[in-house]
Structures are given as structure tokens and as C-alpha cells.
Amino acid sequence: MPTIAHYHRPPDLDTAWQLLRDAGGSARLLAGGSDLVLRCPPEVDTLIDLSAAGLAGVTRRADGSLTIGAMTTFSDLLAAPAATDHLGGLLHDVLADFGSVLHRNQATVGGHVARARMSDLIPGLLAADAEVVVRTEDTRTRPLADHLAAPPGAHVLTELHLPAPPGPAAGAFTRFSRSAFDHALLNVAVVVHLDAGVVHTARVVIGETGVLGRRLPDAEAALTGKPPTPSAIDAAARAVVAGLDPRQDALASADYRRHLAGVGTRRCLQQVVARLGEVA
């Protein structure tokens, strides 16, 4: 059991940030708590509970972009049509089988991203080109990919921002695991934007333990500038298999993971094409 001496529940973001800054390394932010209860580092003696700081909620802006507050639980996200409709259902794919209801009722989007371990959400967010808004001494917005590459030290993640796609667009996500409750061996998220029936932008992201989410440029190039035909999908899936250097562990060989990545990419792209048919 963690030895905690101080517990704060600040009424707003400014106070939360000040408490975090002033405590130095001895404090942790507390969101849902599902990760922190199990993994509170021994040097931590202060918890800063964000539940009263006003960071929950999902908003769709007039331009079609989506803002997700850091303290939004997965259940509330799954119940928000603005989120589950975005990009044709990408977040619905991610969340429908995420943990269990008991977990989704507690765990938050911000705690999940900040925890930055094997994730079914981060690949989807990367495919959706998400930005994070982070409070430190100032407030800054930056791409999630940059945020994950360079953790900003003490910070409060306040919200995620998913930009509106420039035209018809859809995404899809799939995961492979031994059982629904196990960590994914590997997961795949894809987003495609069309312009006049031709793929304008494609993002293909593969996540696995150790690599939260990696884009596959060759697979994206195989799709770009052409209609998303079965042969283009096939080329993209083959580019994923060729371009991926997955891990090998007790659960699966690298070859098996490479195979899964190809299958997942093909399935996601087929789903994306079906969804694009609905929006076009």
C-alpha cells in the first residue's frame, strides 16, 4: 500500500498545477486511480485528486473538431455520440471492448495517456491526429506524437483535441489478444481522408508493448493518391508486414505479430472503406 501523507482535491486547474509544481517529485496527480493504486512509486507522499478541477467533458465544435477533457471517463466517452461518431466510429471501435464496464466507469482518458504504457487508445488518437493541451508554467498545445516522444516533466494534461477532417474521412481500430481481458499482442488504427474519391491522407498506426503507436509511412504511401481499392489495401497491408519490426516474447513471435499487423491493417482498411461509403 502506498504511504501517502498528503491528499489534496484542488477546486481548479491553476491550484492543481501549483500544488504539483511546489511538491516537486513527491506528488502525483490522481485521475481515476486505477493505475496509481497499483503502481504508486515509493517516493510519492502526496496525491492531487483532479476530480473537482473541472476537466471532464466532451465537446464537438462547430468546425467538427472534438475536445475531450482529461478527466472524462471511458464510459462517458463511449456514451457521447460526438466522440463515437467522430471519423465514422474509430473511438467506438477502441472503447467498446476496452477493459470492462467496471474499468470504463473509473479510468480516465487523461490518466490513460499520461500513464503511457501498452495502450489501445493511443494508436487511435495518433491516427486521428490528436493534439494534447498541457498545463505547466504556461499552457501549450502540441501533437500527441511529440508529447509522447518528449515527456514534458511535471505537467497537467488538460484536454485532447481531435481536429476536424478536411473532407470525407473515416477510421477504424482493431486489436488482437489472447482473451478479451489480456493486453493486446498488437493493435492497429487507421484513418483515411478522401478528396474526390482519391486518398488524400492516410495514417496507419501499429501499437504493441513497448511501442505505443508507430506510423508506417510505406503503408500510408501505398494508399495515398489512389482510390482505396482492394489492391491498394492489399499493397498497404503488405507494406505493414514488410516495414514492421515487432517484438518477440513469451506470448508471440515477431513473425506472428507481423502477420497480425497485416491482417489488422487489411480489416481496418476494409472497415474504413465501408464507412466512407456511408459518409460519401
Ligand X SMILES: Cc1cc2nc3c(=O)[nH]c(=O)nc-3n(C[C@H](O)[C@H](O)[C@H](O)COP(=O)(O)OP(=O)(O)OC[C@H]3O[C@@H](n4cnc5c(N)ncnc54)[C@H](O)[C@@H]3O)c2cc1C
The residue ranges that bind other proteins (CB under 8 A) are 1-7, 9, 30, 32-34, 36-38, 40, 47, 49, 51, 75, 99-103, 105-106, 180-181
DSSP 73: B
Identify the sign of the CA torsion 233, 211, 67, 97.
Answer: positive
Sheet holding 131-135, edge to edge: 58-60, 66-69, 156-162, 131-135, 139-143
Question: Which residue, 114 or 273, is less far from ligand X as judged by CB?
Answer: 114
Packing angle of the helix pair 230-243, 254-279 (nearest 10 deg):
150
DSSP-derived 3-state class of residue 23: helix
Question: Which residue, 27 or 170, is less far from other proteins as judged by CB?
Answer: 27
| Closest CB 269 distance from ligand X, rounded Å | 22
Secondary structure element (H or E) that encloses residue 272, with its range: helix 254-279
Question: Which residue, 8 or 21, is less far from other proteins as judged by CB?
Answer: 8
Alpha-carbon distance 30 to 45, whole Å?
Answer: 12
The site partner of 177 among ligand X, other proteins, none (C-beta below 5 to 8 Å per kind) is: none
| Closest CB 18 distance from ligand X, rounded Å | 14
Alpha-carbon distance 157 to 200, whole Å?
Answer: 31
| Closest CB 70 distance from other proteins, rounded Å | 16
The site partner of 115 among ligand X, other proteins, none (C-beta below 5 to 8 Å per kind) is: ligand X
Residue in the shown chain whose Cβ atom is closest to ligand X: 111
**192 class by beta-carbon count within 10 Å (0-12 exposed, 13-18 middle, 19+ buried):** buried
The site partner of 40 among ligand X, other proteins, none (C-beta below 5 to 8 Å per kind) is: other proteins
Reduced 3-state DSSP string for 77-115: HHCCHHHHHHHHCHHHHHHCCCCCHHHHCCCEHHHHHHH
The site partner of 120 among other proteins, ligand X, none (C-beta below 5 to 8 Å per kind) is: ligand X
**Alpha-carbon dihedral angle through residues 216, 219, 225, 230, given to the nearest 10 degrees:** -150
Instruction: List all residues 6 or more positions away from 274 whose beta carbon is below 8 Å from its beta carbon.
Output: none
| Closest CB 51 distance from other proteins, rounded Å | 7
User: Using CB under 6 A as the criterion, which residues of the chain lie in contact with ligand X when the complex forms?
Assistant: 28-36, 50, 70, 98-99, 103, 106-108, 110-112, 114-115, 119-121, 155-157
| Closest CB 19 distance from ligand X, rounded Å | 12
Question: Which residue, 182 or 255, is less far from other proteins as judged by CB?
Answer: 182
Alpha-carbon distance 255 to 259, whole Å?
Answer: 6
| Closest CB 71 distance from ligand X, rounded Å | 7
Question: Which residue, 32 or 165, is less far from other proteins as judged by CB?
Answer: 32
Question: Which residue, 31 or 252, is less far from ligand X as judged by CB?
Answer: 31
